[in-house]
A and B are shown apart, each in its own frame.
Chain A
Amino acid sequence: MPLNTIPNKGLTSRGYPSDRLVTPIIINGDMSVAQRSTSESSYGSVAYSTVDRFKTVFEVGTYTVSQESLSSGNAYNAGFRKAFKALVTSTAAPGSAGAQTTFEHRIEGQNLQIFKKGTSNAESFTLAFWVKSSKTGSNLQVNLRDTDNTRQVGGTYDISAADTWEKKIINFPADTTGAFNNDNGLSLNIEWFLDGGSNYSGGAVPTAWEASSNADRNVTNFDLAGATDSWHITGVQLEVGEFDSTTIPSFPFESFENNLSKCQRYFQVFGNTGGFEGITTGLAGSSTANWCQLTYVNSMRSSPSISFTNLVITDRTSADHNVTSIDNVHSGLSSLAMRCVTASGFSARDAVALTAKNTGSGYLRLDSEL
Protein backbone atom coordinates (compact mmCIF):
# COMPACT_ATOMS: atom_id res chain seq x y z
CA MET A 1 0.00 0.00 0.00
CA PRO A 2 1.43 3.38 -0.88
CA LEU A 3 2.37 5.42 2.13
CA ASN A 4 0.06 8.11 0.89
CA THR A 5 -2.97 5.96 1.48
CA ILE A 6 -2.40 4.81 5.05
CA PRO A 7 -5.88 5.29 6.47
CA ASN A 8 -7.15 6.57 9.77
CA LYS A 9 -3.89 7.89 11.12
CA GLY A 10 -5.11 11.46 11.35
CA LEU A 11 -4.29 14.06 8.77
CA THR A 12 -1.96 16.96 9.06
CA SER A 13 -3.06 20.37 7.91
CA ARG A 14 -1.45 19.51 4.60
CA GLY A 15 -3.68 16.53 4.15
CA TYR A 16 -1.04 13.89 4.70
CA PRO A 17 -1.29 11.08 7.21
CA SER A 18 0.35 12.38 10.36
CA ASP A 19 2.81 9.50 10.40
CA ARG A 20 3.96 10.01 6.85
CA LEU A 21 7.47 11.27 6.32
CA VAL A 22 6.47 14.30 4.30
CA THR A 23 9.32 14.70 1.89
CA PRO A 24 8.09 15.95 -1.44
CA ILE A 25 9.70 14.10 -4.32
CA ILE A 26 9.59 17.23 -6.46
CA ILE A 27 11.87 20.03 -5.27
CA ASN A 28 10.65 23.59 -5.75
CA GLY A 29 7.34 22.42 -7.16
CA ASP A 30 5.79 25.72 -6.14
CA MET A 31 8.43 27.61 -8.16
CA SER A 32 9.22 29.83 -5.18
CA VAL A 33 13.02 29.64 -5.53
CA ALA A 34 14.82 31.28 -8.46
CA GLN A 35 18.47 31.71 -7.52
CA ARG A 36 19.80 32.40 -11.02
CA SER A 37 17.40 35.13 -12.08
CA THR A 38 13.71 35.89 -12.13
CA SER A 39 13.56 36.64 -15.85
CA GLU A 40 15.57 36.05 -19.01
CA SER A 41 14.69 37.54 -22.36
CA SER A 42 15.54 36.25 -25.83
CA TYR A 43 15.96 32.83 -24.29
CA GLY A 44 16.51 29.91 -26.61
CA SER A 45 18.88 27.53 -24.93
CA VAL A 46 19.29 24.28 -23.05
CA ALA A 47 19.98 25.26 -19.48
CA TYR A 48 18.62 25.90 -16.04
CA SER A 49 17.34 29.43 -16.42
CA THR A 50 15.02 30.92 -13.81
CA VAL A 51 13.17 28.74 -11.30
CA ASP A 52 15.42 26.24 -9.58
CA ARG A 53 15.44 22.53 -10.36
CA PHE A 54 13.51 22.90 -13.62
CA LYS A 55 15.47 22.68 -16.83
CA THR A 56 14.37 24.65 -19.86
CA VAL A 57 15.24 22.85 -23.09
CA PHE A 58 14.10 25.57 -25.48
CA GLU A 59 15.49 24.88 -28.94
CA VAL A 60 12.61 26.28 -31.02
CA GLY A 61 12.19 30.06 -31.33
CA THR A 62 12.99 32.42 -28.48
CA TYR A 63 11.11 33.15 -25.32
CA THR A 64 11.05 35.32 -22.27
CA VAL A 65 11.20 32.85 -19.41
CA SER A 66 10.42 34.06 -15.93
CA GLN A 67 9.39 33.36 -12.40
CA GLU A 68 5.93 34.84 -12.44
CA SER A 69 4.29 36.34 -9.37
CA LEU A 70 0.65 35.36 -9.03
CA SER A 71 -2.00 37.62 -7.58
CA SER A 72 -5.24 36.01 -8.69
CA GLY A 73 -6.69 32.94 -10.33
CA ASN A 74 -7.33 29.37 -9.35
CA ALA A 75 -3.66 28.55 -8.67
CA TYR A 76 -3.36 31.65 -6.49
CA ASN A 77 -6.47 30.62 -4.61
CA ALA A 78 -4.86 27.21 -4.05
CA GLY A 79 -1.96 28.88 -2.28
CA PHE A 80 0.58 29.36 -5.04
CA ARG A 81 2.32 32.71 -5.26
CA LYS A 82 4.90 31.91 -7.93
CA ALA A 83 4.88 30.11 -11.26
CA PHE A 84 7.13 29.50 -14.23
CA LYS A 85 6.13 31.36 -17.38
CA ALA A 86 7.35 30.96 -20.96
CA LEU A 87 6.30 33.71 -23.36
CA VAL A 88 7.07 33.39 -27.05
CA THR A 89 8.99 36.42 -28.32
CA SER A 90 10.22 35.12 -31.64
CA THR A 91 8.24 32.59 -33.55
CA ALA A 92 9.92 29.82 -35.44
CA ALA A 93 9.27 26.39 -36.82
CA PRO A 94 11.55 23.72 -35.40
CA GLY A 95 14.94 24.35 -36.94
CA SER A 96 15.57 20.67 -37.24
CA ALA A 97 13.63 17.47 -36.88
CA GLY A 98 15.34 16.93 -33.56
CA ALA A 99 14.66 20.34 -32.05
CA GLN A 100 12.45 20.45 -29.00
CA THR A 101 10.96 22.80 -26.45
CA THR A 102 10.48 20.95 -23.19
CA PHE A 103 10.20 21.88 -19.53
CA GLU A 104 11.88 19.26 -17.39
CA HIS A 105 12.37 18.14 -13.80
CA ARG A 106 15.21 15.71 -13.15
CA ILE A 107 15.38 13.47 -10.10
CA GLU A 108 18.16 11.44 -8.47
CA GLY A 109 17.66 7.69 -8.31
CA GLN A 110 18.19 7.52 -4.56
CA ASN A 111 15.13 9.73 -4.11
CA LEU A 112 12.94 7.40 -6.17
CA GLN A 113 13.42 4.04 -4.48
CA ILE A 114 9.98 4.36 -2.87
CA PHE A 115 8.48 3.54 -6.28
CA LYS A 116 10.13 0.08 -6.12
CA LYS A 117 10.47 0.23 -9.87
CA GLY A 118 11.75 -2.93 -11.45
CA THR A 119 10.24 -5.19 -8.80
CA SER A 120 7.01 -7.15 -8.58
CA ASN A 121 5.84 -4.61 -6.00
CA ALA A 122 6.39 -1.61 -8.24
CA GLU A 123 4.17 1.39 -7.51
CA SER A 124 2.30 3.58 -9.93
CA PHE A 125 2.97 7.32 -10.25
CA THR A 126 0.62 10.28 -10.02
CA LEU A 127 1.73 13.66 -11.32
CA ALA A 128 -0.28 16.76 -10.44
CA PHE A 129 0.31 20.33 -11.54
CA TRP A 130 -1.40 23.63 -12.26
CA VAL A 131 -1.11 24.89 -15.82
CA LYS A 132 -2.29 27.87 -17.86
CA SER A 133 -1.78 28.92 -21.44
CA SER A 134 -2.86 31.63 -23.82
CA LYS A 135 -4.08 28.89 -26.15
CA THR A 136 -6.13 25.79 -25.65
CA GLY A 137 -4.94 22.34 -26.58
CA SER A 138 -5.77 18.67 -26.32
CA ASN A 139 -3.69 15.60 -25.61
CA LEU A 140 -0.64 17.60 -24.61
CA GLN A 141 2.02 15.21 -23.52
CA VAL A 142 3.98 14.70 -20.32
CA ASN A 143 6.50 11.87 -20.21
CA LEU A 144 8.32 10.07 -17.45
CA ARG A 145 11.70 9.04 -18.82
CA ASP A 146 13.74 6.42 -16.96
CA THR A 147 17.28 7.26 -17.99
CA ASP A 148 18.81 4.29 -16.15
CA ASN A 149 16.97 1.75 -18.26
CA THR A 150 16.11 3.85 -21.32
CA ARG A 151 12.38 3.45 -20.79
CA GLN A 152 9.47 5.84 -20.88
CA VAL A 153 5.78 6.23 -20.28
CA GLY A 154 3.52 9.07 -21.30
CA GLY A 155 0.34 10.80 -20.23
CA THR A 156 -1.73 13.63 -21.63
CA TYR A 157 -3.69 16.63 -20.46
CA ASP A 158 -5.91 19.23 -22.05
CA ILE A 159 -5.95 22.98 -21.66
CA SER A 160 -9.66 23.55 -21.85
CA ALA A 161 -9.84 27.32 -21.48
CA ALA A 162 -7.32 29.95 -22.47
CA ASP A 163 -5.68 32.09 -19.80
CA THR A 164 -7.20 30.06 -16.99
CA TRP A 165 -5.33 28.08 -14.35
CA GLU A 166 -6.38 24.43 -14.42
CA LYS A 167 -5.22 21.63 -12.17
CA LYS A 168 -4.15 18.46 -13.94
CA ILE A 169 -3.69 15.01 -12.47
CA ILE A 170 -2.08 12.31 -14.57
CA ASN A 171 -1.68 8.67 -13.58
CA PHE A 172 1.21 6.61 -14.85
CA PRO A 173 1.36 2.84 -14.40
CA ALA A 174 3.91 0.94 -12.34
CA ASP A 175 6.88 -0.59 -14.09
CA THR A 176 8.12 -3.99 -13.00
CA THR A 177 11.04 -3.74 -15.41
CA GLY A 178 14.21 -1.78 -14.75
CA ALA A 179 15.09 -0.55 -11.28
CA PHE A 180 16.18 3.02 -10.67
CA ASN A 181 19.84 3.16 -9.67
CA ASN A 182 20.17 3.91 -5.96
CA ASP A 183 22.68 6.71 -6.37
CA ASN A 184 23.06 10.45 -6.94
CA GLY A 185 22.75 10.22 -10.71
CA LEU A 186 19.85 11.15 -12.95
CA SER A 187 17.22 8.42 -13.01
CA LEU A 188 13.91 10.05 -13.86
CA ASN A 189 13.24 12.98 -16.14
CA ILE A 190 9.73 14.41 -16.18
CA GLU A 191 9.23 16.32 -19.43
CA TRP A 192 6.40 18.56 -20.54
CA PHE A 193 6.54 18.77 -24.34
CA LEU A 194 5.63 22.24 -25.67
CA ASP A 195 6.96 22.06 -29.20
CA GLY A 196 9.06 19.70 -31.23
CA GLY A 197 10.34 18.61 -34.60
CA SER A 198 9.21 15.61 -36.56
CA ASN A 199 11.54 13.24 -34.73
CA TYR A 200 9.24 13.38 -31.73
CA SER A 201 5.94 12.50 -33.38
CA GLY A 202 4.52 9.82 -35.60
CA GLY A 203 4.09 7.22 -32.89
CA ALA A 204 1.58 6.74 -30.12
CA VAL A 205 1.44 8.01 -26.56
CA PRO A 206 3.02 5.21 -24.50
CA THR A 207 0.39 4.55 -21.86
CA ALA A 208 2.43 1.58 -20.67
CA TRP A 209 6.17 1.65 -20.00
CA GLU A 210 8.18 0.92 -23.11
CA ALA A 211 11.69 1.12 -24.45
CA SER A 212 12.35 4.78 -25.17
CA SER A 213 11.16 5.92 -28.56
CA ASN A 214 11.40 9.53 -29.70
CA ALA A 215 8.42 9.13 -32.02
CA ASP A 216 6.18 8.57 -28.98
CA ARG A 217 7.24 11.61 -26.96
CA ASN A 218 5.21 14.39 -28.62
CA VAL A 219 2.44 12.73 -30.55
CA THR A 220 0.19 15.82 -30.58
CA ASN A 221 2.33 18.93 -30.89
CA PHE A 222 1.15 21.85 -28.77
CA ASP A 223 3.15 24.11 -31.10
CA LEU A 224 3.84 26.79 -28.52
CA ALA A 225 5.45 29.01 -31.11
CA GLY A 226 2.98 31.69 -32.09
CA ALA A 227 3.53 35.35 -31.29
CA THR A 228 2.61 36.05 -27.64
CA ASP A 229 1.83 32.39 -26.93
CA SER A 230 2.45 31.67 -23.29
CA TRP A 231 2.57 28.63 -21.02
CA HIS A 232 2.60 28.75 -17.24
CA ILE A 233 3.03 26.04 -14.62
CA THR A 234 3.21 25.68 -10.84
CA GLY A 235 2.27 23.26 -8.08
CA VAL A 236 4.16 20.30 -9.51
CA GLN A 237 3.63 17.28 -7.29
CA LEU A 238 4.63 13.64 -7.75
CA GLU A 239 3.01 11.01 -5.59
CA VAL A 240 3.41 7.28 -5.06
CA GLY A 241 0.25 5.43 -6.06
CA GLU A 242 -2.84 6.28 -8.04
CA PHE A 243 -4.93 9.31 -7.15
CA ASP A 244 -7.66 11.38 -8.70
CA SER A 245 -8.89 14.90 -8.10
CA THR A 246 -10.69 13.94 -4.93
CA THR A 247 -8.09 11.67 -3.35
CA ILE A 248 -4.78 13.33 -4.15
CA PRO A 249 -3.02 14.72 -1.07
CA SER A 250 -2.82 18.48 -0.88
CA PHE A 251 0.32 20.11 -2.20
CA PRO A 252 3.21 19.68 0.26
CA PHE A 253 4.07 23.32 0.81
CA GLU A 254 7.40 23.83 2.55
CA SER A 255 8.94 26.88 4.14
CA PHE A 256 10.98 29.00 1.75
CA GLU A 257 14.03 28.17 3.84
CA ASN A 258 13.58 24.41 3.43
CA ASN A 259 12.87 24.77 -0.26
CA LEU A 260 15.97 26.90 -0.84
CA SER A 261 18.11 24.52 1.16
CA LYS A 262 17.03 21.58 -1.01
CA CYS A 263 17.71 23.57 -4.17
CA GLN A 264 21.21 24.35 -2.91
CA ARG A 265 22.14 20.69 -3.17
CA TYR A 266 22.15 21.38 -6.91
CA PHE A 267 23.00 25.05 -7.27
CA GLN A 268 24.46 27.77 -5.09
CA VAL A 269 25.23 31.39 -5.83
CA PHE A 270 27.44 33.79 -3.91
CA GLY A 271 26.98 37.49 -4.62
CA ASN A 272 24.48 38.44 -7.33
CA THR A 273 22.97 41.08 -5.08
CA GLY A 274 24.13 44.14 -7.01
CA GLY A 275 26.37 45.27 -4.17
CA PHE A 276 29.80 44.31 -2.94
CA GLU A 277 29.61 40.94 -1.25
CA GLY A 278 32.48 39.13 0.39
CA ILE A 279 32.74 35.52 -0.75
CA THR A 280 35.84 34.08 0.88
CA THR A 281 39.51 34.64 1.59
CA GLY A 282 42.72 33.03 0.45
CA LEU A 283 46.42 33.33 -0.18
CA ALA A 284 48.35 34.50 -3.18
CA GLY A 285 50.39 31.63 -4.55
CA SER A 286 52.21 33.85 -7.01
CA SER A 287 51.84 37.30 -8.52
CA THR A 288 48.79 36.17 -10.51
CA ALA A 289 47.40 33.02 -8.89
CA ASN A 290 45.35 33.20 -5.73
CA TRP A 291 44.13 30.11 -3.91
CA CYS A 292 40.78 30.56 -2.21
CA GLN A 293 38.88 28.00 -0.16
CA LEU A 294 35.12 27.93 0.03
CA THR A 295 32.75 25.93 2.20
CA TYR A 296 29.39 25.39 0.52
CA VAL A 297 26.14 26.50 2.09
CA ASN A 298 24.96 22.89 1.91
CA SER A 299 26.51 19.67 0.70
CA MET A 300 26.14 19.34 -3.04
CA ARG A 301 25.10 16.39 -5.17
CA SER A 302 28.45 16.10 -6.93
CA SER A 303 31.62 18.12 -7.30
CA PRO A 304 30.22 21.35 -8.73
CA SER A 305 31.15 23.27 -11.83
CA ILE A 306 32.12 26.88 -11.24
CA SER A 307 31.11 29.96 -13.18
CA PHE A 308 31.62 33.61 -12.31
CA THR A 309 31.34 37.19 -13.44
CA ASN A 310 32.70 40.45 -12.06
CA LEU A 311 34.79 39.11 -9.19
CA VAL A 312 37.81 40.84 -7.71
CA ILE A 313 40.72 39.74 -5.57
CA THR A 314 41.72 42.37 -3.06
CA ASP A 315 45.26 42.42 -1.70
CA ARG A 316 46.80 43.82 1.47
CA THR A 317 46.96 47.31 -0.05
CA SER A 318 43.22 47.20 -0.74
CA ALA A 319 43.87 47.21 -4.46
CA ASP A 320 41.30 45.28 -6.50
CA HIS A 321 42.31 42.96 -9.33
CA ASN A 322 39.70 41.48 -11.64
CA VAL A 323 39.51 37.70 -11.71
CA THR A 324 40.07 36.57 -15.29
CA SER A 325 39.68 32.82 -14.84
CA ILE A 326 39.36 30.02 -12.33
CA ASP A 327 41.67 27.44 -13.84
CA ASN A 328 42.27 24.90 -11.08
CA VAL A 329 39.87 23.41 -8.58
CA HIS A 330 40.04 20.76 -5.91
CA SER A 331 36.47 20.12 -4.94
CA GLY A 332 34.36 17.70 -2.97
CA LEU A 333 30.77 17.60 -1.85
CA SER A 334 31.11 20.17 0.92
CA SER A 335 34.02 22.47 0.05
CA LEU A 336 36.56 23.40 -2.58
CA ALA A 337 39.81 25.18 -3.19
CA MET A 338 40.10 27.13 -6.43
CA ARG A 339 42.83 29.07 -8.16
CA CYS A 340 41.60 32.53 -9.13
CA VAL A 341 43.80 34.10 -11.81
CA THR A 342 44.27 37.86 -12.04
CA ALA A 343 46.67 40.28 -13.64
CA SER A 344 49.97 40.45 -11.75
CA GLY A 345 50.15 42.43 -8.58
CA PHE A 346 50.57 40.08 -5.68
CA SER A 347 53.38 38.74 -3.60
CA ALA A 348 53.31 35.06 -2.77
CA ARG A 349 51.58 34.36 0.55
CA ASP A 350 49.75 37.68 0.53
CA ALA A 351 46.40 37.34 2.25
CA VAL A 352 43.66 38.09 -0.26
CA ALA A 353 39.89 38.46 -0.29
CA LEU A 354 37.52 37.30 -3.03
CA THR A 355 34.63 39.71 -3.49
CA ALA A 356 31.69 40.07 -5.86
CA LYS A 357 31.72 43.53 -7.42
CA ASN A 358 28.86 45.95 -7.16
CA THR A 359 28.97 46.58 -10.89
CA GLY A 360 27.37 44.00 -13.11
CA SER A 361 26.05 42.02 -10.17
CA GLY A 362 29.19 39.98 -9.65
CA TYR A 363 28.66 36.38 -8.62
CA LEU A 364 30.24 32.99 -8.16
CA ARG A 365 28.03 30.08 -9.11
CA LEU A 366 28.35 26.41 -8.16
CA ASP A 367 26.38 23.94 -10.23
CA SER A 368 25.81 20.24 -9.62
CA GLU A 369 22.45 19.98 -11.36
CA LEU A 370 21.33 16.80 -13.05
Chain B
Amino acid sequence: MIVSVEKKYDTENNPNCYLVTYTDGAIWTVPLDEANRHYQEILEWVANGGTIVDNGA
Protein backbone atom coordinates (compact mmCIF):
# COMPACT_ATOMS: atom_id res chain seq x y z
CA MET B 1 0.00 0.00 0.00
CA ILE B 2 1.29 3.43 -0.93
CA VAL B 3 1.82 5.90 1.89
CA SER B 4 3.16 8.87 -0.05
CA VAL B 5 4.37 9.92 -3.48
CA GLU B 6 6.76 12.77 -4.26
CA LYS B 7 7.33 14.11 -7.76
CA LYS B 8 10.95 14.79 -8.71
CA TYR B 9 12.37 16.93 -11.51
CA ASP B 10 15.58 16.67 -13.51
CA THR B 11 18.25 19.30 -13.87
CA GLU B 12 16.37 20.86 -16.78
CA ASN B 13 13.23 21.18 -14.67
CA ASN B 14 11.37 18.42 -16.46
CA PRO B 15 9.36 15.84 -14.48
CA ASN B 16 11.69 12.90 -14.04
CA CYS B 17 10.39 10.30 -11.60
CA TYR B 18 8.42 9.65 -8.42
CA LEU B 19 9.68 8.63 -5.00
CA VAL B 20 7.08 6.25 -3.60
CA THR B 21 6.94 5.13 0.03
CA TYR B 22 5.01 1.96 0.90
CA THR B 23 3.54 0.82 4.20
CA ASP B 24 6.33 -1.73 4.63
CA GLY B 25 8.83 1.16 4.60
CA ALA B 26 10.18 0.43 1.15
CA ILE B 27 10.97 3.47 -1.00
CA TRP B 28 10.98 3.08 -4.77
CA THR B 29 12.26 5.46 -7.40
CA VAL B 30 9.69 5.05 -10.15
CA PRO B 31 10.29 6.14 -13.77
CA LEU B 32 7.61 7.78 -15.88
CA ASP B 33 6.77 4.59 -17.73
CA GLU B 34 3.16 3.51 -18.06
CA ALA B 35 4.28 -0.12 -18.33
CA ASN B 36 5.91 0.05 -14.91
CA ARG B 37 3.74 -1.58 -12.21
CA HIS B 38 4.66 0.98 -9.55
CA TYR B 39 3.71 3.77 -11.96
CA GLN B 40 0.37 2.02 -12.51
CA GLU B 41 -0.09 1.81 -8.75
CA ILE B 42 0.52 5.57 -8.47
CA LEU B 43 -2.20 6.22 -11.06
CA GLU B 44 -4.61 4.01 -9.11
CA TRP B 45 -3.64 5.64 -5.81
CA VAL B 46 -4.33 9.10 -7.26
CA ALA B 47 -7.63 7.90 -8.72
CA ASN B 48 -8.59 6.77 -5.21
CA GLY B 49 -7.84 10.15 -3.70
CA GLY B 50 -4.09 10.16 -3.10
CA THR B 51 -2.25 13.45 -3.51
CA ILE B 52 1.25 13.66 -4.97
CA VAL B 53 3.68 15.94 -3.17
CA ASP B 54 5.07 18.37 -5.73
CA ASN B 55 7.72 20.72 -4.43
CA GLY B 56 8.51 21.93 -7.91
CA ALA B 57 11.79 21.85 -9.79
Task: Contact check, A367 vs B35: say whether CB atoms are below 8 A apart.
Answer: no
Kindly identify, within residues 171 to 222 of chain A, every residue whose CB is under 8 Å from any CB belonging to chain B.
184-185
Give the CA-CA distance A302 to B11 in the complex, in Å.
Answer: 23
Q: Mark A47-60, 1 if CB is under 8 A from B, else 0.
A: 10000000000000
Tell me whether B16 and A307 are in contact (CB under 8 A). Answer: no
CB distance from A157 to the nearest CB of B (A): 28
Q: Which residues of chain B from 1 to 53 have a CB within 8 Å of any chain A CB?
A: 1, 8, 10-11, 16-17, 19-20, 23-24, 26-31, 33, 35-39
Taking residues whose C-beta sits less than 8 angstroms from the other chain, chain B's interface range is 20 to 34
Q: How far is the CB of B52 from chain A (nearest CB, A)?
A: 15
Tell me the residues in window 323-370 of chain A with beta carbons closer than 8 Å to chain B beta carbons: 325-331, 338, 367-370
Q: Is the CB of B35 within 8 A of A306?
A: no
Minimum Cβ distance to chain B for residue A21 (Å): 26
Nearest-CB distance from B25 to chain A (Å)?
10
| B29 close to A327 (CB less than 8 A) | yes
Shortest CB–CB separation between residue B23 and chain A, in angstroms? 8
A370/B10 in contact, CB under 8 A: no
**Interface majority SS (helix, strand, loop, mixed), chain A:** strand
The CA-CA distance from A370 to B36 in the complex, in Å, is 8
Q: In the complex, which residues of chain B have a beta carbon less than 8 angstroms from the beta carbon of A307?
A: 26-29
B35 pairs with A326, CB closer than 8 A: no
Residues in B neighbouring A370, C-beta threshold 8 A: 37
Contact B26 A368 (CB under 8 A): no
Q: Which residues of A contact B27 (CB under 8 A)?
A: 307, 325
**From residue B31, how far is it (CB to closest CB) to chain A in Å?**
4
Contacts of B19 in A (CB 8 A): 325, 327
Q: Is the CB of A302 within 8 A of B29?
A: no
CA distance A367 to B30 in the complex (A): 9
Judging by beta carbons under 8 Å apart, are A327 and B35 in contact?
A: no
B31 and A303: CB pair below 8 A? yes
Kindly provide the distance from the CB of B40 to the nearest chain A CB, expressed in whole angstroms. 9
Once the chains bind, are B31 and A327 in contact (CB under 8 Å)? Answer: no
Of all chain A residues, the one with the shortest Cβ separation from B6 is A327
**With A and B bound together, what is the CA distance between A301 and B37 in angstroms?**
11
User: What are 12 sample pairs from A and B whose C-beta atoms fall under 8 A apart?
Assistant: A45-B23, A184-B35, A185-B35, A301-B35, A305-B20, A305-B36, A325-B19, A325-B29, A327-B17, A327-B19, A329-B17, A368-B35
